[in-house]
A and B are shown apart, each in its own frame.
Chain A
């Protein structure tokens, strides 16, 4: 009896259990035409590998490198896409390679020296995230009031990202002074007690490009970006990869 075709395919792919394989082998013994066909299918698989396996050994072209410079063409072409990529890539910080040449201000999604904005966000994080008893002025149980109050003080409707899926619960927020007016700081906490802060302030005239950037201030990592008139910074004492993932959630929720 001729085996079912899916068994023949699985035979060629070495995906059969021993009993099934023995059954197919027996069938091939008694059917020369079938055996020839199966042999041709096995040869075909080998030919495909012979023809295309050398691609594995080719050097990967520059444009397919998962490093920021390889993506700047894209980044220039589409700033939003660049933001997404930058988030996903968790870019190296300038502190990893202090000797690198200065990066052009127009180059988005690149590491650059921490801006005054990022430095302020990092310091505010360090001061308030360390507070055990009073980390926030208004806690998350009064979220509506918190958002209304900070929105009124900043003069823009604020949106508070929900980071539960990333493992962080909103603790609350506070109002801080900044060089360009009031600043809102929202604080989140993980089950382990680790905290993140989202720092939102009016964009300073001195702030440069709007790209997504990473900075390190002592133990505090900061992802920051400018969106229209506003600057956002997410800070935490967590590794860059984890912070970049949460930053990605924040960005998506603020830009649905």
Chain B
């Protein structure tokens, strides 16, 4: 097995990164950093799930970029968003990308790995280094949140003032 085994996964890494980061340039930066790191660490890879390995590297690079604020923190809208939808919010209710940006990065990772990559929950658990239970709760909350956004429902209807 040599490094060329990585090549078939590059389009998948790009698709996932595009959905995760939003803009094309930032997404390809993430892919490039991931590939660079994968090449440097390729000798550490032992035959097994190459896709989960690559996605785990991308996860680490992504987390570092978030910390270094190389990725737009706008994507990090806190979980406890006030219930009253803003004008911008309402205008974008049907916008999938805006909806993704509303998810926490942790939720977005899980939702996208499962939805775009069709990864099994066990694979996601390996790639992110988190228990399956955590995968399930992030998936469930992330999907529900995205659903509310797409349906134009406020994030926390319970807090919405009732006239």
Q: Is the CB of A84 within 8 A of B40?
A: yes
**Cβ of A161 to closest chain B Cβ, rounded Å:** 13
**Cβ of B139 to closest chain A Cβ, rounded Å:** 5
Q: Is the interface of B mostly helix, strand, loop or mixed?
A: helix
Residue B14 is within 8 A (CB to CB) of chain A in the complex? yes
Q: Is the CB of B28 within 8 A of A64?
A: yes
Q: Is the CB of A58 within 8 A of B3?
A: no
Q: Is the interface of A mostly helix, strand, loop or mixed?
A: helix
Residue B19 is within 8 A (CB to CB) of chain A in the complex? yes
Given A56-B15, A74-B36, A81-B40, answer yes or no on A49-B28 (Cβ-Cβ < 8 Å).
no
Contact of B140 among A5, A84, A249 (CB under 8 A): A5
Q: Is the CB of A84 within 8 A of B39?
A: yes
Residue B158 is within 8 A (CB to CB) of chain A in the complex? no
Neighbouring B residues of A180 by C-beta, 8 Å = none
- Number of A-B pairs whose CB atoms are under 8 Å? 103
Cα of A15 to Cα of B3 in the assembled complex, Å: 31
**A–B complex contacts, Cβ < 8 Å, 29 sampled:** A5-B136, A5-B140, A10-B121, A12-B143, A40-B147, A40-B150, A40-B151, A41-B143, A44-B143, A44-B150, A45-B115, A48-B115, A49-B116, A51-B96, A52-B16, A52-B116, A55-B18, A57-B11, A60-B14, A63-B32, A64-B31, A66-B3, A66-B6, A66-B39, A71-B36, A81-B40, A85-B39, A85-B40, A241-B2
A contact residues vs B (CB 8 Å cutoff):
5-6, 8-10, 12-13, 15, 37, 40-41, 44-45, 47-49, 51-53, 55-58, 60-61, 63-64, 66, 71, 74, 81, 84-85, 87-90, 241, 245, 248-249
Known: A8-B140, A48-B115. 20 other contacts (CB 8 A): A5-B140, A12-B143, A44-B150, A47-B150, A48-B19, A48-B111, A49-B115, A52-B19, A55-B11, A58-B14, A61-B28, A64-B28, A64-B31, A66-B4, A66-B6, A81-B40, A84-B40, A87-B43, A88-B43, A241-B3
